[in-house]
Every structure is written in structure tokens, then in C-alpha cells.
């Protein structure tokens, strides 16, 4: 029986890098030679990876970035055709492509559908143009509406909308309006993220200099509460810290990460994980191209986890999900009883009201969702 894994494809190009973004990406013009060469190299890596994955089936694909829909229709078709040709894709695969407003048109949407993409994640972020500008987004809310309409016209029945709160100068009234506008679009899934300022990003530097005012802690807490009030009341169930879905529309691919299970990453800066080994491809596109075209490995970094590391990370990630970590899953995977390994940590978190427990699993409480970093630290702190 073949093993089922996930596949992540990284397209590290954007029209402009957002001021908060810490992911590896480079601002380019879509017609640049660098973009064409990258697609060619990625197609080579796709075939190489498929040749090594004969005993594996692909249950999910997630093409992220960057902005995958910055590629031309022909470039997207080339990548998607190669994925379908070389990998064994399951019939019920979840195939997601990230799109930014203004970079997807009817031709691209049609090509995505033709080659089996069945889920789109659209980066809306906010419904106010001045907030989008403050964080370095190049689209307007009007372009979000146009892009969303084209996606639905193409026949996509599983669409996620990304939102962010805690933005510079954002008010609770504006966040509430953004939530209501997102719900009005009637997507199948909403990801609502709190802005986190990664060190050395332009927005973090601006904030450190006093040039950017962020909402107060009290205001951000209210935005969190607004999210919890609005989305569940409109049919979206929270199943992970930042993820809300209509019934049967949970993101399957992301659950691979939260379950700490196997996936293969292709493209510059992409991570892979299998057999307690975490690997990462080289960041720089030019170096990635050189390695691929000279028939070298694109891997730049590798870390092998101990059993204790893997168990701790599995708990940390699993407690991001509402369902938590099942005792049977932990036993089947590691051959050990969860409470014998982590009984002390779980008892402590129960005393704090951060996790609950029943006969089947350990799971985060509402308070545990809100203070999930504190929950996770109890398990990664054991790693050595």
C-alpha cells in the first residue's frame, strides 16, 4: 500500500513584497527572464521528486508563495501539467493555489480548473484601501471583489479568504466591517490571522522607530472577540487557531502540518519533512537555478529530530486544532502512552484552564486557543 503525503510548491515572486512579510519572496515583473527560468527549474525538480516518490501517493497539493498567480497562464499550465504527469495524484486530492487580487484573470482561473486545482486561497486581508496601503499590499478591495467573482465564475466550490487584524491604525470598527464583508462574499473558509511583526521586516522597523502605530492590546483582544462572535454565527466553525470553515471545508493540506506528518516541498526556500528529518531548499532563486540546472540537490539545510523532539512538536502543533491530539493516534504513531510521556505538562495546563481532556483526546480550551503559544511552550521546552 502506497503512503499518502502532501506536496508544497513554492513560487517566490510578488509584484511587491508586503511590509510585514518574512517569507522568502522577491519582487519581479512577470515577464522577467528570471521567472521563466524558475518555472523551467521547478519543472525539473518536480520530475526528480516524482522519480523518488514511486511508493507515495499525493493526497494534497498546496502551491503558495509569493504569488503563484503572478505566473502567466502558460507557465501555470506547464507546472500543473507536470505535476499531473509525474506524480500519482489521488482522485479525491485537495489541490490549493494561492492567489492575490489583481493577479488572477479568467484565463488563469480556467487553466487552474482544467488541471485539477479545486481550491483557491485569496489574499483579501482587509476591506479598507488605506489599511492595505499601510501594509504594502498592491491591490484594492475593489480588485478583491473582481478577483473573487472570476474565481467563482470559473466554477471553484472551495474558496478561502485570508484576513488580518491588528494592522497599523486599524480600528475595531474597521475589523468588524472587514469580517462582515468577507462573510458577505460567502467563501467556504476564512483564515483570520493576527499581525505578527517579524524582526527586520520593514513594518517591524517602522514600528520600532515609532513611525507606525499599532492597535493597543485591548483593541486587539476586542478584534479577537469580534472574530469569535461573527464567524461562528454565520456558519463558520473554528477548527484551528486561525481557521474557520463551513462543514466539510476544512483545509486538508494544512492539517498535515498541524499533525506533524510527511510532506515534500519543491522550489526555492521550500521545506520538506519525513522520517524525523526536516529539510529546506536554498533560499536564493539564482542559487536554486544554478543547483537545479547543474544537476545538484537544491537542499541547503537538514535537521534530524529525536523521538522526543518529534513527540513534543506533534503535541505543540496538534493542540492548535480544536480536536486536539487523540490518545490512539499518539500510541499508534510513537508506540507510547501520551499521558505517560506528557502527563505532567497536561496536568499543569489543565490547572491553568488551557487544555481539556476526555476519553479520546487532549484538546485546547477557548482560553487555550487564545494563549496557544503558552500551551506549545510546555512541549517544545522538553526538546533537547
Task: For residue 204, give the CATH number of its domain.
Answer: 3.80.30.20
Question: How far from each other are the two terminal CA atoms of the chain, in whole angstroms?
Answer: 35
What are the residue ranges of helices labelled H in the chain? 33-52, 73-86, 106-114, 129-134, 141-153, 172-185, 202-208, 217-233, 252-258, 285-293, 307-318, 327-334, 338-351, 366-370, 372-380
Residues 328 and 242 in one domain: no
Domain membership flag for residue 64: yes
- Domain that residue 348 falls in: 324-375
From 258, 280, 312, the end of a domain falls on 258
Per-residue pLDDT of the chain (384 residues; tens, 9 = 90+): 678 999 999 999 999 988 888 888 888 998 999 999 999 999 999 999 999 887 899 999 999 999 999 999 999 999 999 999 999 999 999 999 999 999 999 999 999 999 999 999 999 999 999 999 999 999 999 999 999 999 999 999 999 999 999 999 999 999 999 999 999 999 999 999 999 888 888 888 888 888 888 999 999 999 999 999 999 999 999 999 999 999 999 999 999 999 999 999 999 999 999 999 999 999 999 999 999 999 999 999 999 999 999 999 999 999 999 999 999 999 999 999 999 999 999 999 999 999 999 999 999 999 999 999 999 999 986 444
3-state class (DSSP) for residue 288:
helix
Examine the domain organization and report whether 23 and 110 are in the same domain.
yes
Residue 324: what are its φ and ψ, rounded to 5°?
70, -150
278, three cell numbers: 526536516
What is the reported pLDDT for 384?
A: 42
State the Cα–Cα distance between residues 210 and 346, nearest whole angstrom.
Answer: 40
Note whether residue 384 is domain-resident.
no
Count of domains in the chain?
A: 2
Residue at 383 is within a domain:
no
Residue 254 domain-assigned? yes
Question: Angle, to 10 degrees, between the axis of helix 307-318 and the axis of helix 327-334?
Answer: 160
Does residue 240 share a domain with residue 96?
yes
Count Cβ atoms below 10 Å from residue 44 Cβ, excluding itself.
Answer: 15
Asked whether 260 and 271 are in contact (CB, 8 A), the reply is: no
CA 303 to CA 316: how far, in whole Å? 18
Amino acid at each position: 500500500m502506497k503512503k499518502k503525503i502532501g506536496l508544497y510548491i513554492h513560487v517566490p515572486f510578488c509584484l511587491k513584497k508586503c511590509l510585514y512579510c518574512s517569507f522568502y519572496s522577491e519582487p519581479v515583473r512577470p515577464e522577467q527572464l528570471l521567472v521563466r527560468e524558475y518555472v523551467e527549474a521547478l519543472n525539473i525538480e518536480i520530475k526528480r521528486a516524482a522519480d523518488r516518490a514511486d511508493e507515495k501517493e499525493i493526497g494534497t497539493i498546496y502551491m503558495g508563495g509569493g504569488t503563484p498567480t503572478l505566473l502567466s497562464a502558460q507557465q501555470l499550465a506547464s507546472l500543473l501539467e507536470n505535476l499531473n504527469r509525474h506524480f500519482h495524484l489521488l482522485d479525491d486530492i485537495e489541490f490549493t493555489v494561492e492567489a492575490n487580487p489583481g493577479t488572477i484573470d479568467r484565463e488563469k482561473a480556467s487553466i487552474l480548473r482544467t488541471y485539477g486545482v479545486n481550491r483557491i486561497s485569496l489574499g483579501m486581508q482587509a476591506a479598507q484601501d488605506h489599511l492595505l496601503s499601510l501594509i504594502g499590499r498592491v491591490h484594492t478591495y475593489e480588485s478583491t471583489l473582481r478577483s473573487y467573482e472570476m474565481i467563482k465564475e470559473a466554477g471553484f466550490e472551495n474558496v478561502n479568504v485570508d484576513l488580518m487584524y491588528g494592522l497599523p491604525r486599524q480600528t475595531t470598527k474597521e475589523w468588524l466591517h472587514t469580517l462582515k464583508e468577507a462573510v458577505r462574499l460567502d467563501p467556504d473558509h476564512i483564515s483570520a490571522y493576527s499581525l505578527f511583526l517579524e524582526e527586520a521586516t520593514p513594518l517591524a522597523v517602522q514600528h520600532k522607530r515609532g513611525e507606525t502605530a499599532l492597535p493597543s492590546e485591548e483593541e486587539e483582544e476586542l478584534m479577537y472577540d469580534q472574530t469569535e462572535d461573527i464567524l461562528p454565527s454565520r456558519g463558520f466553525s473554528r477548527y484551528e487557531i486561525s481557521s474557520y470553515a463551513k462543514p466539510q471545508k476544512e483545509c486538508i493540506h494544512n492539517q498535515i502540518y498541524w499533525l506533524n506528518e510527511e510532506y515534500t516541498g519543491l522550489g526555492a526556500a521550500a521545506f520538506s519533512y519525513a522520517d524525523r528529518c526536516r529539510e529546506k531548499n536554498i533560499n536564493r532563486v539564482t542559487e536554486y537555478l544554478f543547483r537545479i540546472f547543474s544537476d545538484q540537490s537544491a537542499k541547503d539545510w537538514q535537521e534530524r529530530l529525536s523521538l522526543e523532539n518529534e513527540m513534543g512538536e506533534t503535541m505543540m502543533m496538534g493542540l492548535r486544532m480544536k480536536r486536539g491530539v487523540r490518545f490512539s493516534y499518539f500510541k499508534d504513531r510513537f508506540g507510547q502512552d501520551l499521558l505517560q510521556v506528557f502527563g505532567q505538562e497536561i496536568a499543569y495546563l489543565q490547572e491553568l484552564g488551557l487544555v481539556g481532556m476526555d476519553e479520546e483526546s487532549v484538546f485546547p480550551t477557548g482560553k487555550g486557543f487564545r494563549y496557544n503559544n503558552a500551551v506549545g511552550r510546555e512541549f517544545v521546552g522538553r526538546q533537547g
